[in-house]
Structure 1
Amino acid sequence: MLKSKHIFSIAKDNAPVEGCTVSEKVLQGGACSMIVFSIAAGTNISPESYDHPKIWKIEEGSAEVLYLTAETQALRTGDIFIVPQNIPVGIRSKTGCIYSEILLDKECIMNDILKSAKVFALKDLLPYKDGKIVNMDLVDGDKTKFVIMAFDAGTGLSEHSAPGDAIIFCLDGEGIIGYEGKEYRIHEGENFKFDKNGKHYVKAEGKFKMALLLVRD
């Protein structure tokens, strides 16, 4: 499981094992969870179907979405894929790939911008605005929130407590995370974890984009 109070990289900490697929559950809250997968070059996970919503977030590398037909969809670092419900889908990689799978409660409300079976570049879903913080809820539910934020230089969030465990994904630029009395600089491709009730704040000295996944018990 992931530990708080330090900067880490999901991609660098989960390098593929030759000839293998490897998975680890890193976050759990009620019916929602996050699993990190690493797929070695030339390996795949066969198509399977699920009756609850899922999101794949590509942390590093490239892959293809597999269907039972000949159809495929390309995935690259920084992309998210909205896994369709009750349709068998799998994934394969020719060169190796690390991705996070976010399993959502059936009651979660997904933003209309996220269309099933579509690929999106996560950091391109919202713009920067001069002097402002731009926020978009991608998923909202009683037990889960998945949000992306764009901070202009000089903006930030004041100190507050997390109502559940949360993971930050730095999508662009550099930010400062204040957590339990200490500051941490986070860069694109890096991550940080908050424990439930952990006091934290966010500052942006330059332009900074992040995603946050929050799960509650």
Structure 2
Amino acid sequence: MSENLIKNIEFKTVHNMKSLVDYQEGTVVSRTLAQGDPLSMTLFAFDSGEEISSHTAPGDALVYILDGNAEITIGGEKFELEEGETIVMPKDIPHALYAKEKFKMLLVVVFSL
């Protein structure tokens, strides 16, 4: 029996990526699309003022902004990203995300095997 590696999304259906996760007041909402080796894919919706504090990851993490505007700090350097922009946060380097306004993103983390 084969197991689907991608989950929480209907197969063979056209989707608008930013509509797959909804904003909720006062919180960060996530929807995991894939989890495991060699990568994970997660959609996030941040309400204004919400954040993920500084941390490191065991793999390179690509962020693609689907909606809104995000402030991303990587190794102490701040970056402002808008819809349609992307950045890579290198593995083992502290990074944080802050929502100056609501934003949605796709996060893809690629792990070393």
TM-score higher than 0.5 here? yes
Alignment partners' CA distance in 1, 2:21 and 2:62: 19
Q: What do residues 116-160 of structure 1 show as CA deviations (whole Å, max 9, x unaligned)?
A: x22110000011000010001011113210001000001000000
Q: What do residues 8-40 of structure 1 show as CA deviations (whole Å, max 9, x unaligned)?
A: xxxxxxxxxxxxxxxxxxxxxxxxxxxxxxxxx
2:10 aligns with 114
Amino-acid identity (%): 35
Contact 1:107/1:141 (8 A) holds in 2: no
TM-score (norm 1): 0.49
Q: How many pairs were matched up?
A: 111
Specify the code of the residue in structure 1 equivalent to 2:30: N
Return 5+ residue gaps in structure 1 as ranges: 1-105
Alignment partners' CA distance in 2, 1:183 and 1:108: 37
More strand by share: 1
1:179 aligns with 74
2:21 aligns with 126
SS in 2 for 1:178: strand
**Higher Rg of the two aligned structures:** 1
Q: What do residues 57-80 of structure 1 show as CA deviations (whole Å, max 9, x unaligned)?
A: xxxxxxxxxxxxxxxxxxxxxxxx
Contact 1:177/1:183 (8 A) holds in 2: yes
Q: Which has the higher contact order (CA 8 A, sep 6+)?
A: 2
Q: What do residues 150-191 of structure 1 show as CA deviations (whole Å, max 9, x unaligned)?
A: 000010000000210121100000000011011100000000
1:7 aligns with none
Counting only pairs closer than 5 Å after superposition, residues 17-96 of structure 1 correspond to structure 2 as: none
TM-score (norm 2): 0.92
Contact 1:111/1:139 (8 A) holds in 2: yes
Return 5+ residue gaps in structure 2 as ranges: none
Alignment partners' CA distance in 2, 1:130 and 1:112: 22
Moved segments of 4+, more than 2 Å:
106-109
Matched, 1:192 2:87: yes
